[in-house]
Amino acid sequence: MTDGNAGLSRRGFLTAAGTAVAAAGTAAAQEDGNTTAGNETTTASGNQTMSGNETASGDESAGGSGSGSSGGVEREVIVGPEGELVFDPETVEVTPGSTVTWVWESDNHNVVPDGELPEGASWEGTGGDSETFDTGYEYSHTFTELGTYDYVCVPHASVGMVGAVEVVEELSSGGGEGGGSNIPQVPDSAKSLGVATTFSMISVLGLAYFFMKYGGDYETPDN
């Protein structure tokens, strides 16, 4: 192979390699676009249901979790996690129309409003002060009026088992306790694109170095 042919081969190789990298990036980007376009969000609304023989009225449900009204959010509070005498989280922040669901993870607890309710609000909690519930029980309530709703577990209020629901017009940064994380999430398709592009570039540079170092002349020398 002559020097001129070797030079042309090198240029041809680099041109083809660059084209391959560009094609790989385009294909990965197209896959990313198709994935994004294929994701759909579906919402549905419906009446709350009750299980067992429990009864509830208005926007409450007993024995099951509820759904928030349009524009609200959903929050979950664990009652007595791992046997501790606390509500976790102790305070949740929601907007009007949001549903809070309390889930029992230990026995002999209740959720009873403590103090004055916000103007126009109606909330009785799980019932009487002496009525308690055990592991597996769930109770939900949809809050519609702005304000702070303090509550306690009556049997354990003296040891600090208290909580609060704060209904605000707009959630603060982070959406209040129990909300989602604000850390940006990188889509899997973008990660794949980055890995593929990096691998392609390293492969091309490695092959280019090899080709240029050894000249691409693999013919058997004349004797």
Which residues make up each annotated binding site for Cu cation? 109, 153, 156, 161
Contact 126, 152 (CB under 8 A): no
Neighbours of 102 (CB within 10 A): 25
Nearest to residue 87, comparing CAs of 174, 170, 180, 149?
A: 149
CB 165, CB 148: distance < 8 Å: yes
- 185 Cα distance to chain centroid: 9
- Pair of tokens at residue 76: 């979950």
- C-beta of residue 63 within 8 angstroms of C-beta of residue 127: no
Known binding-site residue numbers? 109, 153, 156, 161
170's CB contacts (< 8 A; 6+ apart) are 95
The one-letter amino acid at 184: P
Angle subtended by helix axes 188-214 and 3-38, to nearest 10? 180
**109 bridge partner residues:** 133
Strand ranges for 118-217 from DSSP E: 138-143, 147-152, 162-167
